[in-house]
Amino acid sequence: MAKTKIAYFCQSCGFESPKWLGKCPSCQQWNTFVEEILEKPNASVPTWKASPPTSQRANKPVPVSEITFKEEHRLLTPDKEFNRVLGGGIVAGSLVLIGGEPGIGKSTLMLQLALNMPNIKVLYVSGEESDHQIKMRAERLSPQEPPNPLKGQQNQELPLQGAGGAGTCFILCETSTQNIFKQIEELEPDLVVIDSIQTLHSAHIESTTGSVSQVRECTAELLRFAKETSTPVFLIGHITKDGMIAGPKILEHMVDTVLQFEGDRHHVYRILRTIKNRFGSASELGIYEMLGEGLREVSNPSEILLSQRDEPLSGITISATLEGMRPMLIETQALVSASPYGTPQRTATGFDTKRMSMLLAVLEKRCGFRLGAKDVFLNITGGIRVEDPAIDLGLAAAIISSHEDIPIPAKTCFAGEIGLSGEIRAVNRVEQRIAEAQKLGFEQIFISKYNMPSAGKDKTRLDLSRYTIDVKPVGRIEEVFGLLFG
């Protein structure tokens, strides 16, 4: 009789070892190895709808010049923010992983998507909730729908008509991958949603549900299904206390797209951020507003990130940033005060603390402002995190505005990177930043003079004739302070 194969896995990173180890050699974490049974004797591999005979043939190498390429067909959803994050729509046969904190709205987002897909048959597989709980949420997400009570037995797919009435969403409360694939073969859905991947288990693996082996095996089975049938599959994943997606790191490598659903449960705004995308840009984001009837897409995020003030306040500036292909105006705040305890504090929310220290050193060395004995606090409003260096100029202006207690004009915007010698460096796609500031009614914007066309060079780099906003090109940070504070 064949013996049962046993191995030890790190619960933090998924590192496999034939024996127990106290410290993981991969992620350097202690006491994370657990014993798991990899395979039972006489275990059968789950199957689904038979593939065409051509898939059984051996693949042969083909010259790249002979490979025929046709434009990929994407499935567009009614949610424009979701389409933008995915790179233009859902790709056939793609495997998408969505992670986020508990209660952030992952299940709400995917159920809302499943209920509003036009002419699409969607199978929503839930391993965490009952069919009655899902029905209650569906009624809340589409209140205009007439009452349609669920009928059927447990572990059978139950139809829910979407808000549009054209598509149909089927609910399946099941955790066994073998039963799920059996229902998929009978139903033949166009889209599959798994909520969540940590609740599934495969009979091919003996370990417990949610373990490294189970998550990896269930994902591999869904990956093979998605690629062989060209059916897109969405996986909802849990995250750890560190904010990382739970399970082995290989889980993120296996899927085509990784989306992170971020936000504070105590605030109404949510951000869907792209971490990895094989079919589009990996720096896109979508912004939603959590309401009682579900998630509402925010088409103009600049309006919600800018606060309305009745009087000018010091330490507040507006910066033009880019998130993927989308320009946004954000409010940057700074507070500079005397340090009462002798040790200055440096705190930044939504911004890199090391880059803040660099900006403070440049202001002290090149401009003569004494900030070494001051407490400095920076904040990016709206709860978002920005890594675009183009907000350096806006942050520096906010710091000096708070230090001198002089308000900056409310209709002034900034877009420039600060170098170590105090020069204002050019930023990419400055035309979109200027257009966004002009659209929102700003009167002037400070940019780098190196974004401007120079004599003898390409004069088409920036055409200011099509803008009504006053564009002020500057070369050094001293010029900016001279124009702002005199």
- What the block records as the tokens of 44 is 């059968």
User: Are the C-beta atoms of 195 and 60 separated by less than 8 Å?
Assistant: no
Look at residue 24 and give its three-state secondary structure.
coil
Is 103 annotated for ligand binding?
A: yes
Longest dimension (CA), the chain: 88
pLDDT value of position 160: 67
Q: What is the DSSP string of 291-303?
A: ETTEEEE-S-HHH
Prediction pTM value: 0.74
Beta strands in 326-442 (DSSP E): 326-338, 346-349, 374-380, 412-414, 417-418, 424-425
For residue 476, the 8-state DSSP code is B
Query: For residue 210, which phi and psi values (nearest 5 degrees)?
Result: 90, -5
User: Are the C-beta atoms of 393 and 418 separated by less than 8 Å?
Assistant: yes
Nearest to 259 by CA among 96, 88, 126, 95: 96
Q: Tell me the fold of 304-454+462-485.
A: Ribosomal Protein S5; domain 2 (3.30.230)
Is 102 annotated for ligand binding?
A: yes
User: Are the C-beta atoms of 121 and 187 separated by less than 8 Å?
Assistant: yes
Crossing angle of helices 353-366 and 477-485, in 10° steps, is: 80
pLDDT value of position 453: 64
Peptide bond into 94 cis (omega under 30): no
- What the block records as the tokens of 67 is 């490979």
For residue 409, the 8-state DSSP code is P
Nearest to 276 by CA among 449, 409, 85, 56: 85
Q: Which residues pair with 159 in a beta bridge?
A: 170
For each of the chain's 486 residues, which pLDDT tens digit applies?
A: 456 678 888 877 778 888 999 999 988 888 888 887 766 544 444 455 544 444 455 678 989 888 877 667 788 999 999 998 998 899 999 999 999 888 888 999 999 999 988 889 999 999 988 889 999 888 888 754 444 444 444 455 566 655 444 458 999 999 999 999 999 999 999 999 999 899 999 888 777 888 888 888 899 999 999 999 999 999 999 887 667 777 677 788 899 999 999 876 667 788 898 989 998 888 788 888 888 888 888 888 887 777 777 778 899 999 999 887 788 899 999 999 998 877 889 999 989 999 999 999 999 998 888 888 899 999 998 777 888 999 999 999 999 999 999 999 889 999 999 999 999 999 998 999 999 999 888 999 999 999 876 544 454 457 777 788 999 999 999 999 989 887
pLDDT value of position 146: 42
Is 237 annotated for ligand binding?
A: no
pLDDT value of position 3: 64
Is 101 annotated for ligand binding?
A: yes
Q: Which residues pair with 16 in a beta bridge?
A: 9
Q: Return the CATH architecture of domain 76-299.
A: 3-Layer(aba) Sandwich (3.40)
Alpha-carbon span 234 to 122, nearest angstrom:
11
Is 105 annotated for ligand binding?
A: yes
pLDDT value of position 57: 53
Q: What is the DSSP string of 34-54?
A: EEEEEE-TTPPPP--SPPPGG
Is 107 annotated for ligand binding?
A: yes
